[in-house]
């Protein structure tokens, strides 16, 4: 068996085409969705990531707002900028690019974001609302990487209802938050969470219909851990310097041999990464639609 590749680039391109139409519809109401980024310092990887987000958002007609502060910016400087974006009607959603310089209190910064403008969907208020809301429609931003994982499966006609999903990892970006969405009645999956402290992780992995790998441990999951035909979404990232080229190389949590056993595979890189950016833009456009609806 060779796994069917879940192509995040193709699925994200489809989402962006749909978002472009929604941006046009908002434009007819006199609204241009505004997405902003806050970058503190000049980390090359962060600059590249932020630049990619703005390039893609501008391509579908969004208003791109880039705000930068020097690496020695004070806590007060950063919080003042957050307050400015919270009050700016042209900004419908934004992110603070992480990591922040070590002298800043990251939690204080993130909690200062207006929950309605939380493009990442990870504000404590929005996570709390997700915890409380199992049945009803969601009208708050959702965590964009978990949302990207689920959307990638759905757009490949994978029905998650009744499936057993094993989530590997306990970080807030994916591991701790994806189960909240998967167990909503509209998705109706069963979730088991394991992590690097789990004894005999393989016994749980081999029961899984779907594995979401987000531990950040290179090739943690091998072919012998995978039930034949299972769907695997590799979201973990390990960076190592290639001794021959001196350049960083990215590895996922899933060993390449797992593709011979799995039924579906979202590789890393090239799988969920593009989906995260597409769903980030989706969060902002949905916020703009809510704001436009409230103004009518």
DSSP string for residues in 117-162: GBTTS--HHHHHHHHH-SSSPP-SPPPHHHHHHHHHHHTTT---TT
Please indicate whether residue 43 is annotated as part of the active site. Answer: no
Distance set, CA 82 to CA 65, 91, 194 (Å)? 13, 11, 35
Long-range CB pairs of 49-53, under 8 A, 24+ apart, other chains included: 49/97, 50/97, 52/277, 53/95, 53/277, 53/280, 53/281
Q: What is the pLDDT of residue 295?
A: 65
Residue 152 CA to residue 267 CA, distance in Å, equals 12
Choose, from 16, 56, 97, 117, the residue flagged as catalytic.
97
What pLDDT is recorded for position 46? 86
Q: Is 237 annotated as a binding residue?
A: yes
CA angle 133, 186, 227 (to 5 degrees): 115
Average pLDDT for runs of 10 along the chain of length 296? 90 97 96 97 87 94 96 97 98 94 95 97 95 93 96 97 98 95 97 97 98 96 97 94 86 95 93 94 97 78
Predicted local distance difference test score (pLDDT) of residue 243: 85
Predicted local distance difference test score (pLDDT) of residue 164: 98
Q: Is 97 a catalytic residue?
A: yes
pLDDT (0 to 100) of residue 72:
97
Report CA dihedral (192, 198, 202, 204) to the nearest 10 degrees.
Answer: -20
Tell me the C-alpha distance between 192 and 157, whole Å.
22
- Is 270 annotated in some ligand binding site? no
Q: Looking at 16, 117, 118, 120, which residue is catalytic?
A: 120
Catalytic residue among 53, 117, 163, 227: 53
pLDDT at 100: 93
Task: Name all domains of the chain by residue range, CATH numbers in brackets.
Answer: 30-115 (3.40.50.10860), 143-274 (3.40.50.720)
**pLDDT at residue number 34:** 98
Looking at residue 177, its pLDDT comes to 95
pTM: 0.93
Is 171 marked within a binding site? yes
Predicted pLDDT of residue 296: 63
């Amino acid at each position: 068996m060779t796994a069917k590749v879940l192509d995040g680039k193709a699925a994200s391109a489809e989402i962006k085409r749909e978002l472009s139409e929604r941006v046009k519809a908002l434009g007819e109401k006199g609204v241009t969705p505004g997405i902003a980024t806050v970058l503190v310092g000049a980390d090359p990887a962060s600059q590249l990531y932020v630049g990619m987000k703005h390039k893609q958002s501008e391509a579908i007609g969004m208003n791109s707002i880039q705000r930068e502060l020097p690496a020695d910016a004070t806590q007060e400087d950063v919080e003042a900028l957050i307050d400015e974006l919270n009050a700016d009607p042209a900004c419908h959603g934004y992110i603070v690019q992480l990591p922040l310089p070590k002298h800043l209190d990251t939690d204080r910064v993130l909690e200062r974001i207006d929950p309605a403008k939380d493009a990442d969907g990870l504000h404590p208020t929005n996570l709390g609302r997700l915890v409380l809301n199992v049945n009803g429609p969601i009208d708050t931003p959702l965590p964009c990487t978990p949302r990207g994982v689920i959307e990638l499966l759905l757009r490949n006609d994978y029905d998650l209802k009744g499936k057993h999903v094993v989530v590997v990892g306990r970080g807030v970006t994916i591991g701790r938050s994806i189960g909240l969405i998967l167990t909503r009645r509209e998705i109706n999956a069963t979730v088991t969470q394991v992590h690097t402290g789990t004894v005999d992780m393989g016994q749980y992995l081999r029961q899984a219909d779907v594995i979401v790998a987000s531990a950040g441990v290179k090739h943690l999951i091998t072919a012998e851990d995978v039930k034949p035909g299972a769907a695997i979404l590799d979201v973990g990232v390990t960076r190592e310097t290639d001794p021959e080229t001196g350049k960083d190389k990215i590895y996922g949590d899933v060993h390449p041999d797992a593709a011979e056993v799995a039924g579906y595979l979202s590789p890393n890189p090239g799988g969920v990464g593009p989906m995260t950016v597409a769903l980030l833009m989706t969060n902002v456009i949905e916020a703009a639609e809510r704001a436009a609806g409230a103004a009518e």
